[in-house]
A and B are shown apart, each in its own frame.
Chain A
Amino acid sequence: MKEKDKHSGFKTPEGYFEGFNESLMDKIKEQSHSIPKNDGMTVPDGYFESLNQQILSKAKAGETKVIPLHNNYKKYYLTAIAVAASLLLIIGLQWKNENAYTFDDLAASEIEQYFEAHDFDMTSYEIAEIMPIDDLQIEDMLLKEIKDENIADYLNDNIDMFEELNLENHDY
């Protein structure tokens, strides 16, 4: 399709005719449903007319005036600022030291509560991927200690084939 009319010199945007069908169909679809076009919302009388002044005054109110520091007072101001900054730094550092909590300070119950209150939406495989298992002992996951003979009894009763334990390639 031509996108330039050689007689009149008028042009259309590039790809206009190629996209015409699609945009026409979009428009027809949009106009064919039964959703009201009026949403019933109104504004107070004269609202837009008075808006400019309100915005302008608020925008300018936020601007801080620059007060020139006269040379005579400059050194006193600077000294005062330096003293105040040092005091803030000292107080800040002490406060930070006193409140430097570590992970160990958290009670186990708080951690449990946090996990219960937040939905992490993770599968057991995803948890296994991020959990370091090298230092993990079986006791870390059990509330009661299990004796070796109980484990042996369980295996005897529940595992039919020794191969199911998948113990190959390990030295035991």
Chain B
Amino acid sequence: MISEASLVDQLKDKGTQSQAFEVLINTYKERLYWHIRRIVLDHDDADDVLQNTFIKVYKNIDGFKGDSKLFSWMYRIATNEALSFLKVKSKKLGISNEELQNHIVDNLRADVYFEGEEIQLKLQKAIAELPEKQKLVFNMRYFEELKYEEISKILDTSVGALKASYHLAAKKIEAFLKSD
């Protein structure tokens, strides 16, 4: 497997850029897709955001200094793209971000790409109730199984604060799931 440093070099070189970009897409497309999907919830929206994320990476690779890992940099772009997407969507609909979250969760029942039972619907409702940061940390740790150190680099938050956020989020979700 190609090392990250040489992949970055190849991405910056016009001669090898296309091939390296395809390697990059193959390596990260599924992980980034699920990361984005858990923020925007709808498949078509996730597809739009994912493509925009890769296009941004492609166009800005020359500006990537290598201070952080390519992986964290891409996750950060994906997170920002997904959150901005939701902000624009809520503005277009003339509703608040919280109202939009509830609206999306309510629509999940009719979503052909959601095969969850009542418990999964309730789980999404519980996650939608969380503050933005707790929501991100919970999804990244619980579903994506990223390490706290990795999340710390992506969200630029200390490991201690992330652990606190995660446990708080898990407690709230558990309480929500137990409620009627």
Chain A positions near chain B (C-beta within 8 angstroms): 26, 29-30, 33-44, 47-48, 51-52, 54-56, 58-59, 62
Contact = CB atoms under 8 A, between A and B. Distances in A.
Nearest to A55: B54
14 contacts: A30-B170, A33-B174, A36-B120, A40-B116, A41-B115, A43-B33, A43-B43, A44-B43, A51-B29, A51-B51, A52-B22, A52-B26, A55-B51, A59-B59
Contact of A51 (B25, B141, B177): B25
B113 A39 contact: no
A36 B121 CA distance: 11
* Interface SS of chain B: helix
Interface string B1-40: 0000000000000000010011001100110011001100
A149 to B, nearest CB: 53
Given A29-B167, A48-B33, 13 more contacts: A30-B142, A34-B178, A35-B177, A39-B123, A39-B143, A40-B114, A41-B115, A51-B29, A55-B54, A55-B55, A58-B51, A58-B55, A59-B59
The 4 closest A-B pairs by CB, nearest first: A40-B116, A40-B120, A59-B58, A55-B54
B158 to A, nearest CB: 15
Contacts of A26: 163
Nearest to B53: A55
Contacts, number: 82
B54 A59 contact: yes
B115 A35 contact: no
Given A39-B120, A41-B37, A51-B29, A56 B18 contact: yes
Nearest to B120: A40
Contacts of B18: 56
B59 A62 contact: yes
A43 B54 contact: no
B113 A35 contact: no
Contacts of A55: 25, 51, 54-55
B45 to A, nearest CB: 12
Contacts of B163: 26
A56 B21 contact: yes
Interface in B130-180: 141-143, 163, 167, 170, 173-174, 177-178
A123 B62 CA distance: 47
